[in-house]
Amino acid sequence: MKPFLAAFFVLMNLMPAPAPAAEPEGEWHMAARDYGNTRFSPLSEITPANLPKLSLAFTFSTGVLRGHEAAPVVADNTMFIVTPYPNLVYALDLTKPGAPQKWKFDPKPAASSQGVACCDVVNRGVVYADGKVFFNTLDMNTIALDAKTGKELWRTKLGSIEKGETMTMAPIVVKGKVLVGNSGGELGVRGWLTALDAATGKIAWRAWSTGPDKDVLIGPAFKPFYAQDRGKDLGTRSWPGDGWKIGGGTVWGFLTYDPETDLVYYGTGNPGPWNPEQRPGDNKWTSGIFARKPDTGEAVWYYQWSPHDLHDYDGVNENVLVEIPVQGKQRKVILHPDRNGYLYVLDRASGQVLSATPYAAITTSTRVDLQTGRLVYNPEKDPTAGKTVRDICPASSGAKDWQPSSWSPRTKLLYLPMQNICQDAQTFETSYISGTPYVGASIEQYPGPGGHRGEFAAWDPVARKKIWSIRENFPVWSGALATAGDVVFYGTMDGWFKGLDAKSGKLLWQYKAGSGIIGQPVSYRGPDGKQYIAVLAGIGGWAGTIVSGEIDPRDGTGANGMVNLTRDLPKYTAKGGMLYVFALP
Amino acid sequence: MFSRSRKCMLVALLALAGAAQAEERLLRVCADPDNLPYSNADGAGFENKIAELVAQDLHAKLAYDWWPQRRGFVRRTLGAGMCDVLIGVPADFERVSTTRPYYRSSYVFVTRAGESVPGFADPAIRQRRIGVQLIGNDMAATPAGHALARAGATANVTGFTIFGDGPAAQRMVDEVDGGGIDAALVWGPQAGYFAARAHKPLSVSIARPPAGTPEPFEFSVALGVKRGNKALLAELDGVLERRQRDIDAILAAYHVPRTDAAGEGR
């Protein structure tokens, strides 16, 4: 070897490992497709002109009946699907007609984990990286499989279902680390984000959402934008006593990574399991957003969407990376549609709130103060024991829940699947759990202004308004998909899969699936060179558990008040997990 | 000939089976397999004993369907037709039809014997280390938990969640016993049972709610059946009327604090 070549290789070895190259444009490696969570497919074969001809290409039954929230993942001419509990993973061979099963993996999760999960036993997807498939099981295992064979490479147990913990989120892989978070905030679970070595499954770091700075991985690098987030051990001092030890702040939403700032962004869940009066203080670091370095987990900034959350507004909704002009200047920002009803525009590097605009009917707060960054609550809608509070908007499920939006860099619009739900915290009724009688608020949710329960809207973050909006009978609990052909897709709980003109919102195509759709649509290029659109049907989730969990529709307070809202859903759809894949003929 | 005898045998067998069926009435009870002092799979809880008593009185065979008493318990048990009776439910529980109540208890303070019992009206309650059960439903707390918050007692309060090693009530009483907290605010039947098993002598005192508290501290407990099952309800009311003294004896053996006449009078 010539000396200069050898030197070159030494140099190569010394250089930090590059961020994995963007995947081929025809593939879909993680639930949100890209680190920026845009869910934008660069494929453009399907356009408004030919969309009406879109046809069913093939289907696949998962054999599982609960709510299917996962995104199908496509890599190496193979599609990977994870089902709700029992978390079966299927690999389908896209090179063969009808995409036959290549392999199936059964992780055999503990049956008891089903009774622990709060809101159906969902799973939001696998992630593919470097020939491996990573996913979480409801009973707290992260598992790595060989993508070619389905053979288990490692499994790491990350917590205990006996403590009320579960996992439902879709991991991402950043710089050789698998990032995963936990669920179960209502049950006294303390939230965390954990990084696992993708090669071995060994835990690299864990960042808690509550507790002393050393647990939260807050150190010298931590520079939050607002004064209220600065100070020592706020993760204990913004709680009474030891409340933080069971304080919630679980991490069950989608994760975002920005290679430019080298920061991972994610939201934390609501504080729990206390009644709000029993936890005076901001209850940090719940219902907010962290920016962390993926190598070490160190926190760089944090912002709290809902300080001292009163309404079960988890802060876990997606954070979408875009570049837009703000006051005439092009900025690299995060778009975040929160459960509390505001669409936030944050600076990626500093966490400064550049704007926070209502995108739904809001009665629980009046505005976000851009000087202090604080949400200004409306005290009339505070839940108070012994008092009936009406017209709480948005309801606990938020203006939008977990169901992810999609951003098109072509139309510069954010496509939002939404709810339109308000709730009354009614007169109290006697309840009984684990041998303990108590008087619970009986929450009843109902359609918000206009009388419809769902909406699919195109939001212009520069003009800060809806460009178009479609009313839906049921909450839109599926993800959104935008493509370079300027079409967008979403599914409805009564089983329609819809394709629209991305610019006008005009409905151009729809297909009736066998069960309601709460999954995340994706797009890929098949081995035959054609563009495909794929989505899982299978009703369930919090909003659909009246069907998948067979809840008695006479009890309107079931599923935390959601049953009152969706009690007619069983008339429209039945359960059953099925993959639908579409292409042009 | 052969065929006729077979037919006769069949008729005889069917008659026998019918008779057996008439005698073998089943009382199907849904219960938590691991929730003492109420019930466990070994039949060691007081609700197990009451289930046996009711079955015996009705000349029925007792059969259990086990399910943890968590979110969805009623839906997955009575609601799913897995059983006919729940042994212990609050008497005004709207999810089921309830019989006449067979006992009434209250939230209580468990303290170490000889130490003062906290009172909600006394500001000193804020300094006491107090344990409270956490429900885990949005905005929900035990009535005693709501009263604590209203009395300003937050900083020294420890929450015990439904999930953990053993029942929350047991963990709370153990902490009082071991000196980790000063008082536990516990639902009476659990408090009486676990306090009686502590190493140190503990006292169980009825917690009196502060004036104007909207949530009751006391609850009456009844048997529950599926909504609208009036025939079974009437039968069970009859059993309770006939066997109240036997039930009182079972409850007394498990140290259930009572706030009804039976508890105070007998």
Per-position b or e across A529-567, b if 16+ CB within 10 A of its CB: ebbbbbbbbbbbbbbbbbbbbebbbebbbbbbbbbbbbb
Q: What integer is the mean pLDDT of B13-34?
A: 72
B126 and chain A: CB distance < 8 Å anywhere? no
Q: Which of B207, B218, B223 is nearest to B260 (CA)?
A: B218
**Mean pLDDT over all residues of chain A?**
92
Q: Which of A54, A24, A30 is nearest to A485 (CA)?
A: A54
A570 compared with A414, residue with greater pLDDT: A414
B71 compared with A4, residue with greater pLDDT: B71
User: B129 to chain A: nearest residue by CA?
Assistant: A241
Beta-carbon contacts of residue B19 (< 8 Å; ≥ 6 apart): none
B190 and chain A: CB distance < 8 Å anywhere? yes
The predicted pLDDT at position A21 comes to 44
In a domain, A343, yes or no: no
Q: B139 contacts in A (CB within 8 Å)?
A: 275-276, 312, 383, 425, 440-441, 443
Report the share of chain A in percent with pLDDT over 90.
78
For A166-227, what is the HEC assignment?
ECCCCCEEECCEEEEECECHHHCCECEEEEEECCCCCEEEEEECCCCHHHHCCCCCCCCCCH
In a domain, A357, yes or no: no
Q: A-B interface: how many C-beta pairs under 8 angstroms?
A: 171
Report the share of chain A in percent with pLDDT over 70.
93
Among A114, A186, A436, the residue to mutate for chain B (most B Cβ within 10 A) = A436
Q: A425 contacts in B (CB within 8 Å)?
A: 139
Where does the pLDDT of residue B137 fall: very low under 50, low under 70, confident under 90, or very high at 90 and above? low
Equal fold, B23-103+219-265 vs B105-218: yes
The predicted pLDDT at position A552 comes to 63
Per the residue annotation, which of A37, A141, A270, A564 is the catalytic one? A270
The predicted pLDDT at position A554 comes to 60
Whether B32 shows a pLDDT value over 80: the answer reads yes
Chain centroid, CA B109 distance in Å:
18
The predicted pLDDT at position B3 comes to 44
Kindly report whether the peptide bond that precedes residue A285 is cis, defined as omega within 30 degrees of 0: yes
The predicted pLDDT at position B5 comes to 45
Residue found by looking up tokens 């008497």 in the block: B91
Residues linked to residue A145 through DSSP beta bridges, in sequence order: A133, A152
Strand, coil or helix: B202: strand
Select from A241, A386, A560 the Cβ nearest to the Cβ of B156.
A241
Whether B8 shows a pLDDT value over 90: the answer reads no
Q: Tell me the CA end-to-end span of chain A in Å, nearest whole number.
A: 54
Q: What integer is the mean pLDDT of B222-228?
A: 95
A256-303, pLDDT tens digit by residue? 999 999 999 999 999 988 778 889 999 999 999 999 999 999 999 999
Where does the pLDDT of residue A514 fall: very low under 50, low under 70, confident under 90, or very high at 90 and above? very high
Whether B2 shows a pLDDT value over 50: the answer reads no
Q: What integer is the mean pLDDT of B174-187?
A: 97
Phi, psi angles (nearest 5°) of residue B164: 155, -175
Report the share of chain B in percent with pLDDT over 70.
88
Where does the pLDDT of residue A22 fall: very low under 50, low under 70, confident under 90, or very high at 90 and above? low
A68 compared with A3, residue with greater pLDDT: A68
Q: What integer is the mean pLDDT of A471-489?
A: 98
CB contact under 8 A, A163 and B135: no
Q: Which pair of tokens denotes residue A556?
A: 């309107």
Where does the pLDDT of residue B262 fall: very low under 50, low under 70, confident under 90, or very high at 90 and above? low
Q: What integer is the mean pLDDT of B206-229?
A: 92
Task: Name the CATH superfamily, with its identifier, for domain B23-103+219-265.
Answer: Periplasmic binding protein-like II (3.40.190.10)
Whether B195 shows a pLDDT value over 50: the answer reads yes
B72 and chain A: CB distance < 8 Å anywhere? yes
Whether A185 shows a pLDDT value over 50: the answer reads yes
Residue found by looking up tokens 């502060």 in the block: B210
Q: Is A312 a catalytic residue?
A: yes
The predicted pLDDT at position A23 comes to 66
Q: Tell me the CA end-to-end span of chain B in Å, nearest whole number.
A: 69
Q: B146 contacts in A (CB within 8 Å)?
A: 275, 277, 385-386
Q: B80 contacts in A (CB within 8 Å)?
A: 550
Q: A549 contacts in B (CB within 8 Å)?
A: 72
Number of domains chain A contains: 1
d(CA A255, CA A317): 9
Q: Assess contact for A578 and A537: CB atoms under 8 A.
A: yes
Q: Which of A52, A99, A46, A37 is nearest to A579 (CA)?
A: A99
Where does the pLDDT of residue A561 fall: very low under 50, low under 70, confident under 90, or very high at 90 and above? confident
Closest Cα in chain A, distance from residue B164 (Å)? 5
The predicted pLDDT at position B21 comes to 53
CB contact under 8 A, B161 and A188: yes
In a domain, A462, yes or no: yes
Residue found by looking up tokens 């937050």 in the block: B154
Select from A428, A434, A439 the Cβ nearest to the Cβ of B162.
A434
Whether A436 shows a pLDDT value over 90: the answer reads no
The predicted pLDDT at position A118 comes to 66
Q: A437 contacts in B (CB within 8 Å)?
A: 90, 187, 219, 221
The predicted pLDDT at position A119 comes to 67
Per-window interface: B 10-39 vs A, CB < 8 A: 32, 35, 38
Phi, psi angles (nearest 5°) of residue A221: -75, -10
pTM for this model (two decimals): 0.89
The predicted pLDDT at position A195 comes to 98
B152 and chain A: CB distance < 8 Å anywhere? no
Where does the pLDDT of residue B167 fall: very low under 50, low under 70, confident under 90, or very high at 90 and above? confident
Q: Which residue segment(s) compose the domain that A567 sits in?
A: 38-64+402-416+439-585
Q: Which pair of tokens denotes residue A16?
A: 């930090």
Per the residue annotation, which of A69, A312, A318, A401 is the catalytic one? A312
CB contact under 8 A, B136 and A187: yes
Whether B166 shows a pLDDT value over 50: the answer reads yes
Residue type, B114: G
Closest Cα in chain B, distance from residue A490 (Å)? 30
Select from A279, A312, A439 the Cβ nearest to the Cβ of B143.
A439
d(CA A61, CA A580): 9
A308-366, pLDDT tens digit by residue? 999 999 999 999 999 999 999 999 999 999 999 999 999 999 999 999 999 999 999 99
Whether B73 shows a pLDDT value over 70: the answer reads yes
The predicted pLDDT at position A278 comes to 86
Select from B71, B155, B214 the Cβ nearest to the Cβ of A433.
B71
Q: A436 contacts in B (CB within 8 Å)?
A: 133, 135, 142, 168-169, 187, 190
Q: Assess contact for A135 and A123: CB atoms under 8 A.
A: yes
Class of domain B105-218: alpha beta
Per-window interface: B 225-264 vs A, CB < 8 A: none
The predicted pLDDT at position A543 comes to 79
Q: What integer is the mean pLDDT of A557-563?
A: 72
In a domain, A565, yes or no: yes
Can you tell me the ipTM of this complex? Answer: 0.84
Q: Is A186 a catalytic residue?
A: yes
In a domain, A573, yes or no: yes
Select from A115, A277, A279 the Cβ nearest to the Cβ of B150.
A277
Q: What integer is the mean pLDDT of A135-149?
A: 97
The predicted pLDDT at position A563 comes to 78
Instruction: Name the CA radius of gyration of chain A, rounded.
Output: 23
The predicted pLDDT at position B68 comes to 85
A384-404, pLDDT tens digit by residue? 767 789 999 999 999 999 999
Residue A49, domain CATH: 2.40.10.480
User: A271 to chain B: nearest residue by CA?
Assistant: B138
d(CA B52, CA B105): 22
Where does the pLDDT of residue A542 fall: very low under 50, low under 70, confident under 90, or very high at 90 and above? confident
Where does the pLDDT of residue A508 fall: very low under 50, low under 70, confident under 90, or very high at 90 and above? very high
CB contact under 8 A, B168 and A436: yes
Q: Assess contact for A28 and A523: CB atoms under 8 A.
A: yes
The predicted pLDDT at position B247 comes to 97
Domain ranges of chain B: 23-103+219-265, 105-218
The predicted pLDDT at position A151 comes to 98
Q: What integer is the mean pLDDT of B71-83?
A: 86
Sign (positive/negative) of CA torsion A307, A308, A310, A316?
A: positive
B189 and chain A: CB distance < 8 Å anywhere? yes
Where does the pLDDT of residue B23 fall: very low under 50, low under 70, confident under 90, or very high at 90 and above? low
Where does the pLDDT of residue A444 fall: very low under 50, low under 70, confident under 90, or very high at 90 and above? confident
Q: Which of B227, B205, B225 is nearest to B217 (CA)?
A: B205
